[in-house]
Each structure stands twice: as structure tokens, then as C-alpha cells.
């Protein structure tokens, strides 16, 4: 797995915080998935060092932790942006032109699917059908849905989120 050099500075949860999460789950091995979810919720992604730490603390072989993390799509081993942009490539959205939307997003963000922008604002990913085909082509950013997207309105949508990032930073 190649980590972009800029991501070396990617945010990293402190072990004290991991300890807190572990304690919340009573250091229970069987709660591994919930623990990982909590860590990811706090840190947006799961760094190798943290997984090693969790494996040591819970006395689970590292390979089992790694298997679990790679099994579920919702876990990420690479840094993820503050906002997750998801484009639907399901059949309905596809015929309604979602590939064009995806291309436009790739251009605007200058990244490929599965990658994160160097400023860590956005991560681009795709999905097959979100169940609201009537609204296609569909894209979501975090938990917000944007239906009948056109390439023209994409910049304004992205701008909105960039602004939000700036506000929360300042």
C-alpha cells in the first residue's frame, strides 16, 4: 500500500484515546469490530501502528485484526478526507450519466477513485446503487444526498464543503 508522502502527517489518534475506547469495551476481544469502528470514527482511518497497538492490548494476533479490517469495506487503511464523496454507479444512475459526474469529480479534485486529496478534504469513492434510483444520477457527500446532479453544479457543491472545512478549522 502506497501512502502519499503528504499523508505521513495524516492525523493520528493518540494511544491514550485508543485506551479510552478499549476501556469502554472492557478490553473485550469479541468487541473488535466495535472498537475499530470507534477508532475510525475518531481518526477517519486506521493506521498500522494503531492496529498493532490494539492487537497487543486485546491479545489478538495481528493477522486477525488485519483480516477483519480488510474484510469490511467500511474500514480504511489509508488516510481519508474530512468529507467522503460517493458517486453512485448503479445501473440506473449509470444510464443517467453518472460516469460523467465521476469524471468531473476526478478532474475537480484531481484524484482517482479511492484516493484522498492532498489537503485531506475529500475522499472519492463509488458505490453500486443507493436505493434511490429515481433521483439518479446520484452522489452523496458524507450523509447528504444530491440527486439529479449535473456537471455544472458540482463546483458549487464542493465549494460548500470547502467552506465548511475552513469554518471548522478557524
Which residues contact ligand FES by CB under 6 A? 88, 90-93, 129-133, 136, 138
- Residue 62 binding: pick among another protein, ligand FES, none (C-beta 5-8 Å cut-off by kind): another protein
Binding mask 63-82 for another protein (x = CB under 8 A): xxxxx--xx-----------
Choose between 62 and 113: whose C-beta lies nearer to another protein.
62
Calculate the CA 155 to chain-centre distance: 20
CA atoms within 13 A on the CB side of 105: 29
Q: 18 vs 51, which CB is nearer to another protein?
A: 51
Choose among ligand FES, another protein, none what residue 138 binds, the Cβ cut-off being 5 to 8 Å by kind.
Answer: ligand FES
Q: How far apart are the first and last CA of the chain?
A: 33
The verdict on 3 binding another protein (CB under 8 A) reads no
The verdict on 48 binding another protein (CB under 8 A) reads yes
For the range 3-7, what are the long-range contacts, defined as Cβ-Cβ under 8 Å and sequence gap of 24 or more? 3/78, 3/79, 4/116, 4/118, 6/118, 7/78, 7/79, 7/116, 7/120
Q: Is 6 in the site for another protein (CB under 8 A)?
A: no
CA distances (Å), origin 3, targets 114, 120, 159:
12, 13, 26
Residues near another protein (CB under 8 A): 1, 48, 51, 61-67, 70-71
Amino acid at each position: 500500500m502506497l501512502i502519499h508522502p503528504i499523508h505521513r502527517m495524516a492525523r493520528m489518534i493518540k494511544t491514550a484515546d485508543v485506551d479510552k475506547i478499549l476501556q469502554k469495551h472492557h478490553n473485550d476481544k469479541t468487541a473488535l469490530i466495535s472498537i475499530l469502528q470507534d477508532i475510525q470514527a475518531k481518526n477517519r482511518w486506521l493506521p498500522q501502528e494503531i492496529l498493532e497497538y490494539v492487537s497487543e492490548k486485546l491479545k489478538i494476533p495481528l493477522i486477525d485484526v488485519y483480516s477483519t479490517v480488510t474484510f469490511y469495506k467500511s474500514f480504511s487503511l489509508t488516510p481519508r478526507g474530512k468529507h467522503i464523496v460517493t458517486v453512485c454507479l448503479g445501473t440506473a444512475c449509470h444510464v443517467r450519466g453518472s460516469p460523467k459526474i465521476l469524471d468531473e469529480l476526478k478532474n475537480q479534485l484531481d484524484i482517482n477513485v479511492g484516493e484522498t486529496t492532498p489537503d485531506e478534504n475529500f475522499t472519492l469513492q463509488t458505490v453500486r446503487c443507493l436505493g434511490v434510483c429515481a433521483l439518479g444520477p446520484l452522489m452523496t457527500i458524507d450523509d447528504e444526498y444530491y440527486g439529479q446532479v449535473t456537471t455544472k453544479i458540482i463546483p458549487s457543491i464542493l465549494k460548500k464543503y470547502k467552506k465548511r472545512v475552513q469554518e471548522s478549522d478557524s
